[in-house]
Amino acid sequence: MSDAIYKTVDVVGSSTESIEDAVSGAIAKASKTIDHIGWFEIGEIRGHVTDGKVAHFQVGMKIGFRLD
């Protein structure tokens, strides 16, 4: 068995619905061009407020994947 090598990329997911949708959307989009995604790590959560209500969620995250 050989040792695996991993890499991470920084992405920001966004959603008007929820933090979970922001994370899921970022992973779904990244998986179209990145193979072997294995994990994610959330670094920051932020959002936009309009008229006293949350209007937009943004999640800064690292996505980890195994290199071939």
Question: Are 4 and 68 a contacting pair, CB within 8 Å?
Answer: no
Residues of the chain falling short of pLDDT 70: 1-2
**pTM for this entry:** 0.88
Query: 58 and 46 in contact (C-beta within 8 Å)?
Result: yes
Q: What is the pLDDT of residue 68?
A: 87
The confidence score (pLDDT) of residue 1 equals 47
Backbone φ and ψ for 57, nearest 5 degrees, come out as -110, 140
Q: Looking at residue 21, what is its pLDDT?
A: 98
